[in-house]
Amino acid sequence: MDWDAFSLSLELAAWTCTLLLPLATLIARWLAWHRFRLRGFIEGLIALPLVLPPTVLGYYLLVAFSGNSLLGGMYEDLFGQTLAFSFEGLLIASVIFNLPFAVQPLQRAFEAIPQNVREAAWCSGLSGIQTFRRIELPLAWPGAITALALTFAHTLGEFGVVLMVGGNIPGETRTAAIAIYDRVQAFDNAAAGAMSALLLALSFLAIGMVFVLGQRRRVYV
């Protein structure tokens, strides 16, 4: 059992959620309440990780992270290390491939808030931020929980992108999913089995939470 890999996976999932949820909230609100010409295009771009083979996404990210590219070069100049094969690179990749899992539930949740409820809040004297905190967020809460659970579970299980971008560096980029693959390659079926069972339990817990909360979601009139 590779506990290092597990703690790295949990750390990656926690950081991904921390960075992605605020970002996804901004994007989701923007998409939910604004109509503009490129909307469909942007929604498609965000949904792309759902259908793109992880290795393809991983390949392009690897290219973008290399010292020769603009992003990778800038990062190297600033921090003196490459993005590729680092935890930070893995985190950026993780945020990108989780975009649809976080944005879509949030967008549906914000879309379900009637426009005039927000207007009523403004007319009651609530500022934009107060309206977000007191009205929008409580009403979109189930969507936020779904986004959180899906992002968390999906990060724990992602394999292809992580292998392409992070490689397999113990303590830096070797996540649980990679470690399972590693153990199978080494014919250590006992460890692979134990880790698989744990990942299965965690994933089931996360997805179960989404459905339980979905059932319990209050029906407002």
Partner 1 sequence: MSEPSPKTAGSIHVSVHQDAPIRLDADFSCAPGEITALIGPSGSGKTSVLRCIAGLLHPSQGRIACGDRVWLDTERGIALSPQTRRVGLVFQDYALFPHLDARDNVCLALGHLARNKRRRRAAELLAQVRLAGLDRRMPGELSGGQRQRVALARALAREPAVLLLDEPFSAVDQMTRRKLQEELARLHREIHIPILLVTHDLNEAAVLADRMVVLSHGTTLQSAAPDEVMNRPAHRGVARLVGQRNLFSGTVKGPAPASPGKLRLDWAGLELTVDDPGTWPPGTEVDWLIPASAILWQRPDRPTAGDSENPVDGRITELLVLGDNCAVTFALNTPDGQELHFSLPVHVVRRHGLMAEERATVSLLAAGIHLMQVNSKPAVQYSN
By CB under 8 A, name the binding residues for partner 1.
114, 116-117, 119-127, 130, 134-135, 138-139, 218-221
**Nearest alpha carbon to residue 20 among 174, 144, 111:** 144
**Residue with Cβ nearer partner 1 (51 or 129):** 129
| Helix residue ranges per DSSP H, 52-170 | 54-65, 70-79, 87-97, 99-111, 115-123, 128-131, 137-157, 160-166
Minimum CB distance to partner 1, residue 165 (Å): 41
Helix count (H) and strand count (E) of the chain? 12, 0
**Residue with Cβ nearer partner 1 (81 or 133):** 133
Q: Would you say 57 and 161 are in contact if contact means Cβ atoms under 8 Å apart? A: yes
Token code pair at residue 205:
């817990």
Minimum CB distance to partner 1, residue 119 (Å): 5
Minimum CB distance to partner 1, residue 112 (Å): 10
- Residue carrying structure tokens 């990108």: 96
| Cα–Cα dist 111/10, whole Å | 31
**Residue with Cβ nearer partner 1 (2 or 136):** 136
Q: Which amino acid is at 58?
A: G
**Residue with Cβ nearer partner 1 (12 or 113):** 113
Minimum CB distance to partner 1, residue 64 (Å): 42
**Residue with Cβ nearer partner 1 (59 or 132):** 132
Q: What single DSSP character describes residue 86?
A: S
Minimum CB distance to partner 1, residue 37 (Å): 17
